[in-house]
Amino acid sequence: LDRRFAERKRCADPECSMLMCRGKAMQDFKGPDCRFVNFKKGEAVYVYYKLIGKSTELWAGSVGSDFGYFPKDLLEINHNYSNEELELPTDETDFVCF
């Protein structure tokens, strides 16, 4: 069973470790499993990469010390850190629970 949400992602750097943007949560979100990050309306969400391909609605980011996926439509972008976007393949480890 392939647990990947997408085959490709867009990142600001080859390691996907640089922030792409920051936004404000438009509403509360509780993910269906541990691969998702939960947040409350108004919280700051930091985006590290954006899935592309079959699951373009999910981005990966952090809220406090928690990291995971969330629906991009729940975020109002208020700061861009980078305009660079590299297209890279996803890895199996992008979709495991820590």
Angstrom distance (rounded) from CA 72 to CA 93: 21
Domains and CATH numbers, the chain: 8-94 (2.30.30.40)
Angstrom distance (rounded) from CA 21 to CA 82: 7
Match 């919280």 to its residue by tokens.
Answer: 43
Confirm whether pTM is higher than 0.85. Answer: yes
pLDDT digits (tens, 9 = 90+) for 9-19: 999 999 999 99
1: pLDDT confidence band, cut at 50, 70 and 90? very low
